[in-house]
Structure 1
Amino acid sequence: MRMDDQRESDNLEDRRGDGGGGGLSFGGGRMGLGTIVIALVASYFLGINPMTVLNMLSGGGMPAIEQSAPRPHPAPANDQMAHFVSRVLASTEDTWTEVFRANGRQYEKPKLVLFTGATPTACGTGQTAMGPFYCPGDHKVYIDLAFYQELKSRFHAPGEFAQAYVIAHEVGHHVQNLLGIADKVHQARQRAGKVEANALSVRMELQADCLAGVWGKRTDTMKGVLEPGDLEAALTAASAIGDDKLQQQAQGRIVPESFTHGTSAQRVRWFKVGFESGDMNQCNTFKAAQL
């Protein structure tokens, strides 16, 4: 992926030198690529109770706690990965600013927070074990860059475009938040039963995959950043984190009614829908008869 000559974003917060953090304002809810990893994988190799994490993600049963965020500082000049994700973030800013302008809207740029271990967010305490996630309460994407090693070694999805896809997927959730989709889904999930709520989450996540595809197509069209093999790398990443594959790895069986992100095939399909069209209007997973 040719990103070395691209601009970097001014919206990167590097908290990695802050040694973790406490919690604040529980109940805002989290969405993101790492959700299914927490619930199905962390329970057995990190000792985290998945039901506790799912409860936090759904905004249930947690007391309100407030804590100030750590003071951000710039990434070190020799930190290649930090500068890479900053360039990826800048490319999402350029893409979605243009798309929103074409639709008569103004795009609000999110911040990308780098952390290690734990950090306070408007959605509670973000932890490495959660994987990358977006917090709608503060309009920030959070990632411990150690996740990329996990993506490569555990999920066998290496490559820079796979890494960029992770950021683009979470920014897709930010786009959903700005468009009011996130609020509508959250309200619908509160009224629904568990199975129906999970089904809504699947459509939400698949739409974020589609929006990540839109970003990939439009960014390559504008800047010519993709190289041979890049698209395959992103599709491998999308496939590697399908609910069916993760459940089979974690518990040896697949429980479709518990899916929250979609199958590997569905994630690949919707990323391709976005990438092949470059049009976010093709990403309405909520009206799709078949996912």
Structure 2
Amino acid sequence: MASPGSSTSSSTNNNPFAGPDPVLIRDPDIHPRVPVCLDYSTSTYYAWKTYFSLVFRKYHLHDHVDSSVDSSLMLGDDEWTTIDATLIRWFYLTISRDLFHTVVTDGDDTLAVWTKLNGLFTDNQLQRRVFLQQEFFGSHQLDSSIDGYCMRLKKLADELRDLGETISDDLLLSTLTAGINEEFGNAASNLTLIPEPTFPKVKAYLRPEERRMKMAKTRATHTALIAGTSRGGPPPPSPQAPAAPRFPPPAVSYGQYLPPTVFFQGPPPQPASSDRRCGG
């Protein structure tokens, strides 16, 4: 198996930009390497771009996306075009369907697709910054776990930093404290006792506190059930007179007593198909 940069064919011998063996690029499943789906409605752009940057570094593929090579001059190189097509397929497999239909165009090379996808999230920076700020500062824990809530805040902060917004650790901590549920009130008041508090430290402190509160609720419920059982069950029902015999209703044809509108109803509405899945 050839190592990155080694010659694997006559075309590679004449190619000063020789990259990895195309077999090494075709074989890997991209989803374990880019385990996120790029979508308009979720804050995944920063993570998606970061994972692909690592893929480019691992397989020496930057020349396909940094415009250092004119791809029109490489059309006769089978290995280059094979790797280029594989990269485009990886992009399409890790974006939502609506993004796929937004950027897909016949004949695009890797650089064109990469530029389009990044442009969708960076060209309208002001609008996207305003949207992310509103979502970040308006975040509340609600039904989320501490881990889920902290993850959501961290993703939003990373997206804002990627747009040039300064999100300090102090701001991240104050937003976290303001948004956690009221039942964490005592724990929140103790956060000032943590020496040199950081976002990971506060998260690690709140996680066992969340488990403790869940256990307390479980014990309270169990105690209430035991107390109800010790008092005895509900009194038995008082004897009643035997019920009068019931006779079946007279046979009638269906529709005799139904409103006429029943017979003119249309077919039930069909659920709208989701367009958020990855894979084009």
Specify the TM-score bucket, using the shorter chain as the normaliser. under 0.3
Q: Which has the higher strand share?
A: 1
| TM superposition score normalised by structure 1 | 0.23
